[in-house]
Amino acid sequence: MERVKVSVIASVALVVTVGALAFPVWSYTDRSGTAQANMSAGMVNTQWGPLTASDRDLIVRVRLAGLWELPAAEQAMKRSSSKEVKEAADHLIVGHTDLDKRVRTVATQLGVEIPDEPNEQQKAWLQQMTAAQGKEYDRTWANLLRSAHGKILPAIGQVRNGTQNMLVRQLASDTNQTVLDHITMLEKTGQVDFDAIANGTI
């Protein structure tokens, strides 16, 4: 009798394990908005390790970064007359083109819903850049991007340090390197107002 019980338990465990490996995605109870769907889902197991709400949040934020920073960089290549700004823009284009491919792959593998357009704040930043002219353009461009990069950096570190998901950990590492490179290049433009960024007025 004991052998039968053990056999049944082992069979159930095997089915559950195979199911978890075969379907490492999570379902959305609310698909009306990406952020709502991602944050409402609890931790789930995947074949790459547990996937948490903060893991999903980072994936979404990396995707969002590319959705507005790529157009911003492409715009600067056309509008800025500054060699340093164009060099920074080139780094943003290369970095986010690669990072966007990676994040879309990870999102697909983990079943995380990601946005297809920038959020309202990012759209406002792009409009602010577009409205700026001459030297004001370079300052606006560099400061908005430098501020945005600085804000996401702590979140990347927290997820990189705490995640148990192998794919998210690698994405966080790649994102960290890219963001640090972009911060360095933006600061080299000579247009960054560090006081305004520190005071949160940008």
The pLDDT tens digits of the residues spanning 10-21 come to 443 433 333 333
pLDDT over threshold 70, residue 154: yes
- Between helix 134-162 and helix 53-79 the angle, nearest 10°, is 160
In tens, the pLDDT along 31-47 reads 334 444 444 457 899 99
In tens, the pLDDT along 177-189 reads 999 999 999 999 9
pLDDT, position 59:
97
Distance CA 80, CA 118 (A): 22
What is the C-alpha end-to-end distance of the chain, expressed in Å? Answer: 71
Q: What are the beta bridge partners of residue 51?
A: 44
pLDDT, position 72:
98
pLDDT, position 78:
97
Q: Helix (H, G, I), strand (E, B), or coil: what is residue 51?
A: strand
Superfamily of domain 2-199 in CATH is Ferritin, core subunit, four-helix bundle (1.20.1260.10)
Domain limits, the chain: 2-199
pTM (two decimals): 0.77
